[in-house]
Amino acid sequence: MKILILGSNGRLGSALVRRWKTLPGVEVIALTRAQVDLSDPEKAEAGVAVESFGSGDVVVNCAAATDVDGCERDHELARRINAESPGRIARLCVARGARLVHIGTDYVFDGSLDRPYTEEDEPNPLSHYGVTKLEGDREVLSASPSHCVVRVSWVFGPDKPSFVDAIVKRALTSPDAAAVHDKTSAPSYTEDMAVWLEAFLKPSVPGGIYHLCNSGTCSWRDYGEYALECAKANGIPVLTTTVAPLKLSDMKAFIATRPPRTPLDTGKFARITGITPRHWKEAVAEYFKTWKA
Ligand X SMILES: NC(=O)c1ccc[n+]([C@@H]2O[C@H](COP(=O)([O-])OP(=O)(O)OC[C@H]3O[C@@H](n4cnc5c(N)ncnc54)[C@H](OP(=O)(O)O)[C@@H]3O)[C@@H](O)[C@H]2O)c1
Between 175 and 220, CB nearer to ligand X:
220
Between 105 and 232, CB nearer to ligand X:
105
What is the footprint of ligand X within residues 6-45 (CB under 6 A)?
7, 9-13, 32-33, 36-39
- Does residue 226 have an active-site annotation? no
Q: Is residue 210 a contact residue for ligand X (CB under 6 A)?
A: no
What is the footprint of ligand X within residues 119-148 (CB under 6 A)?
133
What is the footprint of ligand X within residues 51-110 (CB under 6 A)?
62-66, 81, 103, 105-106
All residues at 6 or more sequence positions from 14 whose CB lies less than 8 Å from its CB, including other chains: 8, 157, 159, 160, 190
Angstrom distance (rounded) from CA 105 to CA 82: 11
Q: Is residue 262 a contact residue for ligand X (CB under 6 A)?
A: no
Q: Which residue is nearest to ligand X (CB)?
A: 10
Torsion over CA: 122, 118, 146, 38 (sign): positive
List the catalytic residue out of 107, 129, 189, 226. 129
Interface region with ligand X, contact rule CB under 6 A, candidates 140-148, 154-162, 202-210, 225-233 = 154-162
Task: Name the residues annotated as catalytic.
Answer: 129
Q: Which residues of the chain form contacts with ligand X (CB under 6 A)? A: 7, 9-13, 32-33, 36-39, 62-66, 81, 103, 105-106, 133, 152-155, 160
